[in-house]
Structure 1
Amino acid sequence: MPDARTRRLVDAYTRLTRDSLPALLALYDETAAFKDPFNDVRGRRAIGRIFEQMFDELVDPRFVVQVAASEGDEAFLTWELHFVRACGDVLKIRGATHLRHGPGGVVLHRDYWDAAEELYAQLPLLGVLMRALRRRLATPQPA
């Protein structure tokens, strides 16, 4: 069961828009650390730039949180990021987040998601190569 701090964060993520970004960032400590497959930054302003870039590059991004749990100052979320590509295709990235709360808000935000499976494999040309490589490297399964 998520605590009140985690529920506020989940609510902010599920309602996240460019206009509501300051409200989300207010839940983070000024010196919070954020890491995902492409970024490793410190500070509320740097975290804000990551989300601003998301809104610049993706059409209609929105988070759907499936599971939220917390114990003490630690929290864990599983989520999907839904967005639309320029060609109109709707895509989603599945991931998980580890959070650590501190007195000034979230002090650690670590996202775990597989860029190869969730993003690269969905791109037309690169996706074909990624799927072929995955088939070649996969352990054979008995018939």
Structure 2
Amino acid sequence: MAATADERLEAFCAFFNKLDKSCTTELYRFYTPDVLFIDPLHRIEGARALEGYFATLYENVTACRFTFHERQISGDQAFTTWTMSLTHPRLDGGREIQVDGCSHLTFAEDGRVVRHRDYFDAGALLYERLPLLGGAIRLVKKRIDG
């Protein structure tokens, strides 16, 4: 008997909260081999490519956790809002960064995710946190905001 959408989403959120460089091979339990993953910075096709992406991404991360908020499910579609807390030695002087986002997931019949799209402010995560570029972006934002 297949898991309900609620169980699938809860299991996915629990897995994502434990994801680090030591468990990227666990992706195959939650993603189909032909998964499509999209975020503001990347478009990745296939579970093998996604495993490589996460392994590289988490290689230098000091800490990363997600606090999941609202969840909406309709058929094979699910949405969840989240706050990511990330600590990386090259971003913001190694201080913890918090970025809000939303994930849109499409589940396959076997309960795994076949499509995963994340929405978040790439500037708040990355560009504003880089030593030289960050100052320039903050200056531009101040001028726009008046």
What is the TM-score when the length of structure 1 is the normalising length? 0.84
2:33 corresponds to 1:30: yes
Q: Deviations over 1:81-108 (max 9, x none)?
A: 2222324311122211110001241111
- How much does 1:5 deviate? 0.9
CA contact (8 A) 1:75 1:98 kept: yes
Q: In structure 1, the residue corresponding to 2:94 is in which secondary structure?
A: coil
Contact 1:93 / 1:119 at 8 angstroms: preserved in 2?
no
| Alignment-derived partner of residue 97 in structure 1 | 103
> 1:47-66 to 2 correspondence within 5 Å?
47-66=50-69
Q: What SS does the corresponding residue of 2:19 show, helix, strand or coil?
A: coil
Q: May I ask how many residue pairs the two structures share in their alignment?
A: 138
Deviations 1:5-49 (A, max 9, x none): 111101101122323333333111110100111211111111111
More helix, by proportion: 2
Q: Helix, strand or coil for the counterpart of 1:57?
A: coil
3-state SS of paired residue (2:86):
strand
RMSD: 1.9
Matching of residue 134 in structure 1 with residue 141 in structure 2: yes
2:85–2:96 CA contact under 8 A, matched in 1: yes
Equivalent residue for 1:74, pick from 66, 77, 95? 77
Consecutive unaligned residues of structure 1, counting only runs of 5 or more, are none
Contact 2:128 2:135 in 1 (8 A): yes
Q: What secondary structure, in the 3-state scheme, does the structure 1 residue paired with 2:83 have?
A: strand
Contact 2:27 2:51 in 1 (8 A): no
- Matched AA of 1:90: E
Distance in structure 1 (CA, Å) of the matches to 2:84 and 2:103: 12
Q: 1: distance between equivalents of 2:130 and 2:21?
A: 25
